[in-house]
Amino acid sequence: MFTIMRKTALFLSLIIFTILSSCKKDSTNSGVNINPSSSNKIVITNLQFSSDSVVLTWTKLTNKNFRAYYILRRNYKSTNPNSFTGSDIIDEIYDASVVKFADNNFPVAPYLEYEVVGLISDSLTYNYSYIYSNVMPFERSGLKTFYFNPIDVIPDIPNHLFYVIEADSGKISIVDYTARSIVKAIKTNATIGYCALGTYNGVKEIYVPRNDGWVFIYNAVTLAKIDQISSGSSCGAVLFNNGKLFVFGNSNDYYTSMNVIDRATKSVISTISNLYYMRPKLVPGSNTKIFGVASSYSSSGDLYSFEFDASGNVLNHSENYVDYPSDYHSFEIFPDGQHFITSEYGAIYASDLSYVVQLPYGDYNYSGFAFSGSASKIVAGCNNYKDIITYSNPGYSELQAYQTQGYPAFIFNDNDTIISLSSTTIYNYYNEGYNFLIEAIPLTSKAKHK
């Protein structure tokens, strides 16, 4: 009897040891069976990250009714990983033996997750089902992104700031691009246009044109409201210089006007009527001259030039309709004031509004322009590639391409370091909003290619 009890105890001990060993093995592998193949299970076994790709590897599905692997990618934590939408699918693989995929176009985001789904389908009944893998997260804790829907970004290079202007929400955000943080933000509770910075009576101000016909004036440091000036009609853009506001009408009006308003007295000094809506810019080094680009299209449009005296009276203005690319979204004046560049094709115009040349744009769509400190290089951000390109000035030949993490949307030069507000996905001006990151690319750094 004692012998039987000893044998029974030994048998139970072996069973318990086997169970514990099995549990320990499962715990070591996080409960994931990583057998190299299975007819009803897919396991992502590895995920590797480099600067330009995320590579995932999974176990082979041997089900005879295999039809495809769906590769899923999400930029959020899924609450139900056993479901997906078409927008989650980034690729489809129809060979069951292919168990590796390189995501060479992954978005720049603090969090991504990947999943592989096997499509199983009976060719006779056409019934289908899915086999879901484990979810493999990919986190970049050091990456910081911002959500904006900007029409413009105004740089304040001496203070390492820029102002993000969001038209429909009426939001203005001051961003410290060195610290990569939002310093201050306000909502103006109006649809706003192209704003301007200026200094009046020793106070730094930001001038905000509104669709209700007012220009609101805020302290540019605190964003506290200081004053407001009536323009008489809906405002789409404003410039400030020498104590004068140059207020341009809104795009909702077929024809609009430009009013020069004295900042101190709030009185209208001069007016120009029968203009198309435009984006104006003050010519560098000038107190009296403005260029304007009126078209929002890339095929043709109106260009403007204005000149004023020191009191704000109109001396002359000219207009030229061109059958060449122009676009007020991407528009920058050369440092010498003798040329300006615009459109996704990099069309260059002279100060008399005549067409000069286009940059060799290839497949690039340019989102914005800047210049090197010596002005010997034109710098172009590309909204359809993760690239910033430099071109010779003059000559306009391509020099170098610098690879970026995101898609450059707005670029500026800070001591020959290009500051880029880059979208995490391909950028255009007409979507509802994007996630952005801030990048700094020294022009002295190693380029992507020549």
pLDDT at 240 over 70: yes
Give me the pLDDT at residue 21, please: 34
Please provide the average confidence, as pLDDT, over all residues in the chain. 88
Give me the pLDDT at residue 12, please: 36
Give me the pLDDT at residue 110, please: 86
CATH code of residue 105: 2.60.40.10
* Residue 395 φ/ψ region, left for φ over 0, alpha for ψ in the -120 to 50 degree band, beta for the rest: left
Q: Between residues 287 and 284, which one has the greater pLDDT? A: 284
Q: Between residues 412 and 6, which one has the greater pLDDT? A: 412
Provide the percentage of residues in the chain whose pLDDT is more than 70.
Answer: 89
104/174 same-domain check: no
pLDDT at 257 over 60: yes
259/320 same-domain check: yes
173/96 same-domain check: no
Query: Does residue 450 fall inside a structural domain?
Result: no
Q: Which two tokens stand for residue 327?
A: 């676009």
pLDDT at 374 over 70: yes
Give me the pLDDT at residue 450, please: 39
Q: CA 370 to CA 365: how far, in whole Å?
A: 15
pLDDT band of 127, cuts 50, 70, 90: confident
Query: Does residue 448 fall inside a structural domain?
Result: no
Give me the pLDDT at residue 296, please: 57
Domain extent, residue 263, equals 146-442
Give me the pLDDT at residue 125, please: 73
Q: Of 139, 168, 194, which closes a domain?
A: 139
Q: CA 206 to CA 13: how far, in whole Å?
A: 80
pLDDT at 64 over 70: yes
Domain count for the chain, please give it. Answer: 3
Give me the pLDDT at residue 314, please: 93
Closest by CA position to 348, among listed 364, 374, 330, 365: 330
Query: Does residue 151 fall inside a structural domain?
Result: yes
Q: Of 139, 174, 201, which closes a domain?
A: 139
Tell me: the pLDDT tens digits for 88-115? 999 999 999 999 999 998 888 889 999 9
pLDDT at 295 over 90: no
- Mean pLDDT over 266-271 rounds to 95
238/269 same-domain check: yes
Q: Which two tokens stand for residue 182?
A: 């939002």
pLDDT band of 70, cuts 50, 70, 90: very high
Query: Does residue 447 fall inside a structural domain?
Result: no
218 CB-near residues (< 8 Å, 6+ apart):
172, 186, 205, 206, 208, 224, 225, 226
301/280 same-domain check: yes
45/22 same-domain check: no
Please give the angle made by the CA atoms of 391, 395 and 401, to the nearest 5 degrees. Answer: 15
154/278 same-domain check: yes
Q: Of 139, 174, 193, which closes a domain?
A: 139
160/265 same-domain check: yes
360/318 same-domain check: yes
130/240 same-domain check: no
Closest by CA position to 412, among listed 199, 192, 177, 241: 177
Kind plus residue range of the DSSP H or E element containing 373: none
- Mean pLDDT over 44-72 rounds to 93
Give me the pLDDT at residue 234, please: 86
pLDDT at 22 over 80: no
Residues 57, 106 contacting (CB under 8 angstroms): no
CATH code of residue 196: 2.130.10.10
Query: Does residue 254 fall inside a structural domain?
Result: yes
Residues 133, 176 contacting (CB under 8 angstroms): no
Query: Does residue 253 fall inside a structural domain?
Result: yes
pLDDT at 251 over 80: no
Least confident interval from 36-45, 223-232, 358-367? 36-45
Give me the pLDDT at residue 7, please: 36
435/419 same-domain check: yes
Residues 107, 118 contacting (CB under 8 angstroms): no
pLDDT band of 226, cuts 50, 70, 90: very high
Give me the pLDDT at residue 29, please: 34
Query: Does residue 190 fall inside a structural domain?
Result: yes
49/70 same-domain check: yes
Query: Does residue 351 fall inside a structural domain?
Result: yes
